[in-house]
Each structure stands twice: as structure tokens, then as C-alpha cells.
Amino acid sequence: GAGVSQSPSNKVTEKGKDVELRCDPISGHTALYWYRQSLGQGLEFLIYFQGNSAPDKSGLPSDRFSAERTGGSVSTLTIQRTQQEDSAVYLCASSRNPSGSYEQYFGPGTRLTVT
Amino acid sequence: AQRVTQPEKLLSVFKGAPVELKCNYSYSGSPELFWYVQYSRQRLQLLLRHISRESIKGFTADLNKGETSFHLKKPFAQEEDSAMYYCAPPLDRGSTLGRLYFGRGTQLTVWP
């Protein structure tokens, strides 16, 4: 079956503009995660959705970042008034079960460049 | 708070040499631990999980509760092992949350 997909694969935007990044998780996966991967910074957790529960937003770096998950499936990460330090690869992952026992499946990522 | 430490950002070995990627965690419960790998131009993917006690691509990882470590080892490194490796211990099983805390990663380079 299809894996996690993300769009766009690359996004170049001007500083101050808003961007939306999309994630389509694997069908049937109840948990969805957003991470940011920056050079030299490793993998940084941003936000986590599980079913109808309130999302864990503890990793969002500022109030310019927000995310939604509609209908328990597709998720959109929005970055408002982008800054150059937002440039990174944004990864989405989903897992079948929220328990840490289950593997996370990652998408190919969206490379965001803020000029 | 949960913490994961991968002390080496970069690690280089020659082909055929043993390799050990270090991972230490702070955790009060009984952890389940994972190693994820990202090869060049590929997606991040699961390499192995300690609970299954498996060996994948010659790699093994032993959980040492006394040292709170989960180091990844391979006796004879291959050039195709060159990749970024992330250690990931999840939260307490009693928690309702399922997020993973990834380490910052170790970039392994295996020279010919």
C-alpha cells in the first residue's frame, strides 16, 4: 500500500510569507507526527495527533507554527510570517497505534527554504 | 523529563572495522527503544527495536538498564552502512502519549 506522502516536496518562500505543508498518513494509522530536521540539529519533534485527543503541541517552536488534522487523516502544518531560521526539512510520520511499541512510518519530507 | 543523548555527531570507520553508535537515555520506567536510520536520499526508517531482539543488516543493540544505554553495534562495517542513525526511546508505557524523543543523530561514514 501507499506510504506516508507529503506535499510539496520543495517549497521556496520569501521571508514573511505564510506556508502550508501537507501530510497524508497511511490509511488506518491513528497517530500522526510532525518533525523538523535541520542540519546539525537532528530531528526535532513539533506536534503529535492521536485520534480525537487534544494534540501534543509541546514541540512547536513559536506561535507562528500551527497544525491541524482533519477527519483523523490528512494534516496541514502552517507556518505564518516565515523566518529564515524556519528553513529545514519538515517530516511527517504516522503509526498504527499511539503506543511507543509501534513503528513510525515517515514521509519523504518537505524541504522549506525561506529567502 | 525524557532525554536521549547521542554523544557523537559524526563517526567514521573503515570498511570491515567494528562500529558502535552510542545512545544513552534518562528514563524511569521500562523503556522500549528503537534505532532509526536515514540513508542518503531515502526516508527515515526503522532499523531495529530492542524488544524484538533482532539483528538487522548485521546490527544489534543491547539494552543496558544499569548504564541506561542502547548502543548500536556491528562487528564489520560496510560502505552501505553510511547513513544518519537516530536513537529513539519512547515514553513510559503507562503514558497515553506515544511520541518518541529522538536523539540528535550520529552521521556514520564508512570509508572503503
**Rounded Cα–Cα distance for residues A35 and A32 (Å):** 10
Average pLDDT over every residue of B106-112:
96
**Chain A interface includes B25 (CB < 8 A):** no
Q: Are A65 and A46 in contact (CB under 8 A)?
A: yes
Question: What type of residue is B35?
Answer: W
Q: How many residues belong to chain B?
A: 112
Q: Which residue has the higher pLDDT, B33 or A31?
A: A31
Partner residues linked to B63 by β-bridges? B70
In chain B, what residues touch A49 (CB-CB under 8 Å)?
none
What tens digit of pLDDT does each residue of A43-78 get? 888 998 988 888 888 889 999 999 999 887 999 999
What tens digit of pLDDT does each residue of B30-79 get? 567 789 999 999 999 999 877 666 778 999 988 888 888 889 999 999 99
Give the residue among A102, A57, A48, A99 at the shortest CA–CA distance from A75: A48
DSSP secondary structure string for all residues of B32-65:
--EEEEE-TTS--EEEEEGGGT--BTTBEEEEET
**Partner-chain residue, chosen from B32, B45, B49, that has the shortest CB–CB distance to A106:** B45
Residue B92 has pLDDT above 60, yes or no: no
Residue B89 has pLDDT above 50, yes or no: yes
pLDDT above 70 covers what percent of chain B? 79
Inter-chain residue contact A31 with B46, CB threshold 8 Å:
no
**Chain B interface includes A72 (CB < 8 A):** no
Residue B99 has pLDDT above 80, yes or no: no
Q: Are A69 and A82 in contact (CB under 8 A)?
A: no
Q: Are A4 and A105 in contact (CB under 8 A)?
A: yes
pLDDT value for B93: 45
pLDDT category at B94 given cuts 50, 70, 90 is very low
Q: Which residue has the higher pLDDT, B2 or B52?
A: B52
In chain A, what residues touch B89 (CB-CB under 8 Å)?
100
Q: Which residue has the higher pLDDT, A35 or B34?
A: A35
Residue A112 has pLDDT above 90, yes or no: yes
In chain B, what residues touch A40 (CB-CB under 8 Å)?
9
The overall average pLDDT reported for chain A is 90
pLDDT value for B76: 97
Average pLDDT over every residue of A18-43:
90
**Chain A interface includes B27 (CB < 8 A):** no
